[in-house]
Structure 1
Amino acid sequence: MQTGKVSTLAPQRVVRGWGVCRGLGEALHIWGARVLVVSGARTQERFAPLLQPALQELETQWGIYGGDCTEAAQQRLVEQAQGAEVILGVGGGKALDMAKWVAQTRGLPVVTLPTSAATCAAWAPLSNVYSAAGTWLYGVPLTKAPELLVVDYHLLLSAPPRTLVAGVGDALAKWYEASVSSAQEDDPLVIAAVQQARTLRDLLLLKGAQALREPGGRAWEQVIDANICLAGLVGGLGGDRCRTVAAHAVHNALTTLHTTRHSLHGEKVAYGILVQLRLEEMAGNRLAEIARQQLLKFYWTMGLPTRLADLDLGPLSLHDLRAVAESACAPGTDLHLLPFPVTPQQLIEALVAEETGTLIR
């Protein structure tokens, strides 16, 4: 059979609800009794006692990834996974990316249990790899999404509100990136992905502030599902074209400045959306300015960053700005999925405009 387009749409099963991780042990037992739990040290300390009743019938060991999804940590955990029958990822985006990567390398099923709604990593068939210093290096496309995704609202309710806000920033990017990079696509799945991205944006703009005010309420549940599941579905349907463009390219470039370790992935992506809209405005898209003004009001309400200082970056030197711009504009980056060319100097102008509020003409 000839190989055509291959789509990795979604996890085989998604379980959502309050306290649903109580059934985790029974679900894992489908694949075997020997489980490697991939998480961070603080996650283990915090959640191991809560998960112990669900996992008590299994032979469980914990693998600590170390804070970043690095090549060295992945190699160590691949060795630790020898003899495991299933991988369970517990934690935020980097822990889940590590769990998925280890599982693929070992040829094992993986189950994801997010402890925050800061990204759609629990869903996405992709792992992002970082250096030990926290610089984004590359993404690893995975051959499948997780076998099972467990969204337990009870666990997620204990996450800092900042992670929910960051997840909103990351999920919003799906519309602003997919609608630009895929506007001319005729693939029905990509068309559907772009429309889902629009629905995702509208839901977040409508429900985001309420979710922040009323943790545990219905709007909060909806935003949790949007950040993790609907954002993941957009990438699953549309593939690479609907995952990342300029907003994520700006994020990736900002990670070369080590002080951005103090900010979350979705916070840098949210800032990157504003920069992308500046670039579109510079390219003659008059609607981009309207979209940016709409977003600014929402950002102020949610506490999302609108300036580099909001990312603990303060005023950057021209040398720093040029380094960021050259990294974002390097050959092969996602920024080149924009439908117009962008030079490092143009990106510097967009960054300066976002800081000063004025485009350089």
Structure 2
Amino acid sequence: MVEALPSLLPILAIAPAQLLRGNGILSQLPKYLSRYGNKALVIAGEKAKQATASHFGNTTLEIIYAPAIADCTDANLAILRQIVQQEKPDVIVGVGGGKVLDTAKLIAHQSQLPIATVPTTGATCAAWTALSNVYDEQGAFAYDVTLDRCPDIMFVDYDAIATAPKRTLVSGIGDAIAKWYESSVSSGSSQKTMVIAAVQEARILRDILFQKSAEAITNPHSDAWREVVDASVCLAGAIGGIGGASCRTVAAHAVHNALTHLHQTHGTLHGEKVAYGILVQLRLEEFQGNQLATTSRHQLLKFYEEIGLPTSLTDLGLNQVTLAELEQIAAITCQPNSDIHRLPFTVSPSQVLAAMVSTTSPITATV
């Protein structure tokens, strides 16, 4: 009798092994890093490097700084792998925004080294997740890599995050709130316990952001501000960890990824493009006769205007975009490997194009 092979469900990387939060906790960075060994390789942008340098002044830990990077690209990854081979660090430390953190996580994954993440803005949940997005040399999204685990330790220093421009947290709100609109449409009818839990967490996340975002961006360091930072940096990441890929990225992120192929969008932040992508996704749902999507879109339009998220192509700086460029973006959005195919209905490039140019359509518009 042949024994049946074990059935392995998808492995979930849910959360960092340790999460440290508080004001001024970067002072504890050397103590925790020393648990992994005697040498740390710090991957950071120039400003983020300055934010952490003072905390390494009185430590026996040997600190190696990698050259400052701006994007997670194959070329930068190759340079960093060479540095790892030469320096043989015991731990990788990523300090900065989403692209720097994605780079550090991927290098640690490829080198099989521990990884510590230090977000310096509230713009994304990259410090939390077991995922890295890789871009080409022109700044366009190329591919993503699923990592074998979330970071070993994550530091959320509210003092450091408070020094970032307000726009970064607004962008983080746009990225985080997408978790509800994407997970609910792709997985809202799931009967799987972990997915149900993730979708409900996404609903709670949305409600927190609706209730507290306006106060948070007006009053940094307030209780509301701290809760919104936690929602954007931590809870958004946990939802994707618990629910899996379909609770992370659907049409809104597919639109973001396609938009990165237009150089005119490189001045806008990740969450700003994702926020616009949510409106595109809701329009696509409206094309299916979903009246709830119409109500949701207009609720979001009001929210976006209140806190400063883009509602249209013009808001993204694309007021001079050509029809040919929009057709290209719509086609990229619908490529075979696109996350848009996690929608429960088929979408064509022409529908995406129609949705992209009608994100602010009045509620009385016929669909």
User: When the two structures are superposed, what TM-score results if normalisation uses the length of structure 2?
Assistant: 0.95
Equivalences for residues 100-115 of structure 1 within 5 A: 100-115=105-120
Partner of 1:264: 269
Structure 2 residue 66 is matched with structure 1 residue 58: no
Q: Does 1:72 align with 2:80?
A: no
Gap runs ≥5 in structure 1 = none
Contact kept in structure 1, 2:26 and 2:52, CA below 8 Å: no
Could you say what secondary structure the match of 2:35 adopts? coil
Amino acid aligned to 1:4: L
AA partner of residue 99 (structure 1) = A
How do 1:99-178 residues align onto structure 2 when only pairs under 5 Å count? 99-178=104-183
Q: How far did 1:284 drift?
A: 1.0
State the distance in 1 between where 2:121 and 2:238 align: 18
CA contact (8 A) 1:308 1:315 kept: no
In the other structure, the counterpart of 1:222 is 227
State how far apart, in whole Å, the 1-side matches of 2:360 and 2:293 are. 17
Equivalent residue, structure 2, for 1:85: 90
- The count of residues paired between Structure 1 and Structure 2 equals 359
Match status 1:236 vs 2:241:
yes
Q: Which runs of 4+ in 1 moved over 3 A?
A: 355-361
2:323 is the alignment partner of 1:318: yes
Q: Is the 8 A contact 1:36 1:62 kept in 2?
A: yes
Does the CA-based 8 Å contact 1:65-1:73 persist in structure 2? no
User: Superposition pairs for residues 182-193 of structure 1, below 5 Å?
Assistant: 182-193=187-198
Describe the SS at the equivalent of 2:221. coil
Contact 2:198 2:239 (C-alpha < 8 Å) held by counterparts: yes
Compute the displacement of 1:41 (Å): 2.5
The reply on whether 1:352 has 2:351 as its aligned counterpart is no
43, 60, 67: which is aligned to 1:38?
Answer: 43
Measured in 2, the distance between the counterparts of 1:80 and 1:336 equals 39
Q: Residues of 2 paired with 1:215 and 1:66: CA distance? A: 28
Amino acid at match of 1:135: A
Task: Specify which of 41, 44, 51 is matched with residue 47 of structure 1.
Answer: 51
Match of 2:29 in 1: 24
Q: Percent identity?
A: 48
Contact 1:104–1:142 (CA under 8 A) maintained in structure 2: yes
TM-score, scaled relative to structure 1: 0.96
In the TM superposition, what is the alpha-carbon distance from 1:66 to its structure 2 partner? 2.2
